[in-house]
Structure 1
Amino acid sequence: MGFVGNESDPQLLSKIATNNGHGEDSHYFDGWKAYDRDPYHPSKNPNGVIQMGLSENKLCHDLTEEWIVENPKASICTSEGVNGFKDIANYQDYHGLPQFRNAVAKFMGKIRGGKVAFDPERIVMSGGATGAGETIMFCLANPGEAFLIPSPYYPAFDRDLRWRTGVQLIPVNCESSNDFKITKECIEAAWENAQKENIRVKGLIMANPSNPLGTVLDRDTLKDLVAFVNEKQIHLVCDEIYSATTFSSAAFVSVAEVIATIDGCNLDLIHIIYSLSKDMGLPGFRVGIVYSYNDAVVSCARKMSSFGLVSSQTQYLLAAMLSDDAFVDRFLAESSKRLAKRHKLFTEGLAKVGISCLKSCAGLFVWMDLRHLLQQPTPEAELALWRLIINDVKINVSPGSSFHCSEPGWFRVCFANIDEETVEIALERIKAFVRRVTEKTSKMKRKQWQSNLQLSLKSRRFEESVMSPHGLISPCSPIPQSPLVKATT
């Protein structure tokens, strides 16, 4: 007789296993599920859902494939590279292969314009940026303690940073009136509110470039943030995983560059999260990096990295790839060029139907403004519009509320995970949808105008029929005027 368990009994499982802290009930993930149930395919399922909710960079896979073909010795899984198998397949030091850490440090410096150097001894591996973010939270905060985080922010931060660590995230509300820029005032306000609630704030975490905004922080804002954490003696964690996805003259500035110019900065408070998922388009390789200027954090994170190491086979391949200067230079230049072209294609297509996006210069997505299509400026109306887009337009976009955006009507749309033909199809679907909504809205407005006009005329006729007690219009009463007469003057 087999064992029969009662999975609904919470006493059989841990609190982590039975709580909903993973965030799978978020509308962000609901969109993915809708795509999984009915995925678009140009021939097999042309009416399926187009996936534009996944921040994935597929625009330069051809360059990476060419390099792999031309460098078979870089892999222990080829006849040319199999001689390295016995050395790489064995247990490796969880510090990481020296050549891998050297290559990553060099690459991180290169994509920051060579303005700052990174120490390979501070490179700590993790299973993607997800693992890196959780690792740094474990190192810096206890359960119940909090990090301030500017919103809108990446929805899966709630899973990555909170679920297993017990750390709180306190949104710092940024607004569209200044293009969602982070200000000293909004940071201070969030800090003061936390103090009133007796919440211990251990740090500030933010993504630069921003996900979902696609904007970069300017040097002065970064200096203000560094000054803030130094004043409060709390940590600053900078997620810089989109640092090589910039595609305009607004150059990315790393916090590593800024702290080198600030006298008296406490470097023990500064930490960087990085990965190769976005810049190199390699999320499946699960390469995450914690880079900290704090020796104790590096030591602790390295011990914890044994729970999420990057495979030695992957390290071996990437060490060779990232050490190839000619390839890296070509890849970064071409990636920027292709991202700019795709961004232009998509935003100009949206503009043709009156849809604007927040001005951006980085990332694999745009922050699309659909506030004018909402029935009402409420979160409920935003979700109603989102469901229409998912179910009727058959495009998975992510609603702003899932990014903790305080203003309804904004949506993140990813453009680098699909080919150009699919982008064009998505644009045609959006155009058709906007036309339907516009026509429906116009009809409703005309109907309402006609209804209001009829009510107005009835009201006027009633007023004109009102007589004095003697059955005549009072000589002191003003002569009634038709609204149509007034309109012609």
Structure 2
Amino acid sequence: MAGMSKIATGNGHGENSAYFDGWKAFEKNPFHLTDRRDGVIQMGLAENLLCFDFIGKWLMEHPEASLCNGEGVSKFKETALFQDYHGMPEFRRAVANFMAKVRGDRVEFDPDRIVMSGGATGAHEMVAFCLADPGEAILVPTPYYPGFDRDLRWRTGVELVPVICESSNNFKITRNALEAAYGKAQEANLRVKGLLITNPSNPLGTILDRETLKSIVSFINEKNIHLIGDEIYAATVFMEPEFVSISEIIEEVECNRDLIHIVYSLSKDMGFPGFRVGIVYSYNDAVVSCARKMSSFGLVSSQTQHLIASMLSDDGFVDNFIVKSKEQLLKRHKYFTWRLSQVGIGSLKSNAGLFIWMDLRKLLKEKTFEAEMDLWQVIIHEVKLNVSPGSSFHCHEPGWFRVCFANMDDNTMDVALSRIRTFMLNNNEAVVPPNKLCRRSSLKLSFSRRKDDFMSPGIMSPHSPLPQSPLVRTRT
């Protein structure tokens, strides 16, 4: 019997990780608010449900955008037939306009440099294929998204070299750390072809300040390596300081623009991961040309392009969406971190993203990754929360966990927070401030009184009983 390929049988998929193991535990026993209250609550999924009421209202008012009804049938044939790999012009214009608005209209984006891909996953692989050969390396600051081990490496053969960032300076990317990683790659006889930064950061929920970005641009120019800016969380910055894009920095400093590339998507900023809208925006003409040819392996469907183009061409909707989404994320973040603080759990100060970087170092029996995994096993199997251990994000300090807060309805979130509170009070009272422990009996009343200050009604979870989708309810 003929064997399978090395790629198919190898471990390059990156799924031998606690990050993916947590998902498997959830899938075996998923929480449901009414049908399975003892199930595992999904807090490992960086998904944005908080703006769906606003999007649903737009869909109800523009049923023709979906093409699945009488109002949209006139565009059906045109959309169903072959579309050029460049993508629909109106789609590329709308995405370029949205990218600019998310960045405060401080920069402009050329629609002709928009290259489509099947989500950010496909976009990252596309860039890796364009920039590096098998065995060459890309530097990546830690902690970083576990999926990069799959997206950039599995089929391309590219190596990832970690840039070690530390909690002592809030995981800031420093020039010394970049130089150390570059030197380590050279010692291993790896040719470094690029640096990948995620801004805002996943999993930290922080943004890179202007001076750090300038230092990064200076570094890649001196080394003559590429810079890939993953900016898929750009519209999730919910409080100051404001987001600064790499596209702004290259307007302010001298640099070789052929080295600058941006990966974007609508999966996080708009909560559309199912639409698989990924974008490569490169300032390098050769990369744009090559990526466009590669995009045939992961195009965005014409129906999705039409819907997105219609929605994002509505400037009034886009302006209101950006504001409303930030308001919802800020409320949820404030409430979530406040509830954790009530039982003595801290987190890295953050102002972006759909998650927090939770600090459980004081719960470890010893300062090792083995102790971190022991704690994670308790959280996933006994507390029944799928949170992601820092080691799965290549964090070099045990005890940090990423926990997502925007992917569930208010009631599910309260169940999750109650489980955390019970775990902390029953098993780890020594780490909870005494003045908070003596107020246990009043905590429940305090939570109910304060909740309206933080939350907005109507936020539902994909695992809660849902009303019919706005797309289903549109006229036929």
TM-score when normalising by structure 2: 0.90
Separation in 2 of the partners of 1:318 and 1:406?
A: 40
Counterpart of 1:41 in structure 2 is 32
Partner letter of residue 420 of structure 2? I
2:109 equivalent among 115, 118, 123: 118
2:7 equivalent among 16, 23, 47: 16
Are the aligned partners of 2:131 and 2:193 in contact in 1 as well (CA < 8 Å)? Answer: yes
Report how far residue 42 of structure 1 moved: 1.1
Separation in 2 of the partners of 1:202 and 1:251?
A: 30
Secondary structure in 2 aligned to 1:272?
Answer: strand
Report how far residue 439 of structure 1 moved: 4.7
Secondary structure in 1 aligned to 2:152?
Answer: helix
Counterpart of 1:175 in structure 2 is 166
Structure 1 portions without partners, runs of 5+: 6-10, 443-489
2:392 equivalent among 394, 399, 402: 402
Are the aligned partners of 1:32 and 1:53 in contact in 2 as well (CA < 8 Å)? Answer: yes
Matching of residues 291-306 of structure 1 within 5 Å: 291-306=281-296
Counterpart of 1:144 in structure 2 is 135
Counterpart of 1:53 in structure 2 is 44
Separation in 2 of the partners of 1:155 and 1:255?
A: 23
Matching of residues 407-422 of structure 1 within 5 Å: 407-422=397-412
Mapped pair 1:340 → 2:330 = yes
Counterpart of 1:93 in structure 2 is 84
The CA deviation string for residues 400-450 of structure 1, in whole angstroms up to 9 with x for no partner, is: 0000000000000000000111111111100111112225899xxxxxxxx
The CA deviation string for residues 320-345 of structure 1, in whole angstroms up to 9 with x for no partner, is: 10000111111110100000000011
Counterpart of 2:119 in structure 1 is 128
Are the aligned partners of 2:230 and 2:263 in contact in 1 as well (CA < 8 Å)? Answer: yes
The CA deviation string for residues 172-200 of structure 1, in whole angstroms up to 9 with x for no partner, is: 11000000000001001111111111110
Are the aligned partners of 1:146 and 1:202 in contact in 2 as well (CA < 8 Å)? Answer: yes
1:325 equivalent among 315, 320, 324: 315
Separation in 2 of the partners of 1:185 and 1:290?
A: 29
The CA deviation string for residues 204-236 of structure 1, in whole angstroms up to 9 with x for no partner, is: 001000000000000000000001000000000
Are the aligned partners of 2:362 and 2:431 in contact in 1 as well (CA < 8 Å)? Answer: no
Secondary structure in 2 aligned to 1:198?
Answer: coil
Structure 2 portions without partners, runs of 5+: 433-476
Separation in 2 of the partners of 1:420 and 1:311?
A: 33
Secondary structure in 2 aligned to 1:12?
Answer: coil
Separation in 2 of the partners of 1:48 and 1:73?
A: 39
Counterpart of 2:228 in structure 1 is 237
Are the aligned partners of 1:373 and 1:437 in contact in 2 as well (CA < 8 Å)? Answer: no
For the aligned residue pairs, the C-alpha RMSD in angstroms reads 1.1
Separation in 1 of the partners of 2:181 and 2:175?
A: 10
Q: Which runs of 4+ in 1 moved over 6 A?
A: none
Separation in 1 of the partners of 2:325 and 2:265?
A: 16
2:252 equivalent among 244, 249, 261: 261
Secondary structure in 2 aligned to 1:170?
Answer: strand
Counterpart of 2:436 in structure 1 is none
Are the aligned partners of 1:230 and 1:266 in contact in 2 as well (CA < 8 Å)? Answer: yes
Partner letter of residue 404 of structure 2? C
Secondary structure in 1 aligned to 2:70?
Answer: coil
Q: How many percent identity over aligned positions?
A: 65
Partner letter of residue 206 of structure 1? I
Separation in 1 of the partners of 2:294 and 2:303?
A: 20
Partner letter of residue 349 of structure 2? K
Matching of residues 153-164 of structure 1 within 5 Å: 153-164=144-155
Mapped pair 1:275 → 2:262 = no
Separation in 2 of the partners of 1:375 and 1:156?
A: 29
Separation in 2 of the partners of 1:418 and 1:199?
A: 43
1:368 equivalent among 350, 354, 358: 358
Aligned residues: 432
Mapped pair 1:79 → 2:70 = yes
Separation in 2 of the partners of 1:82 and 1:438?
A: 60
Partner letter of residue 335 of structure 1? S
Partner letter of residue 243 of structure 1? A
Separation in 2 of the partners of 1:15 and 1:21?
A: 10
Counterpart of 1:199 in structure 2 is 190
Secondary structure in 2 aligned to 1:304?
Answer: helix
Mapped pair 1:66 → 2:38 = no
Give the structure with higher Rg (CA). 1
Separation in 2 of the partners of 1:91 and 1:165?
A: 29
Separation in 2 of the partners of 1:48 and 1:72?
A: 36
Counterpart of 1:219 in structure 2 is 210
Report how far residue 121 of structure 1 moved: 0.3
Structure 1 181/441 Cα, relative in aligned 2: closer, same or farther at 3 Å? closer
Partner letter of residue 256 of structure 2? N
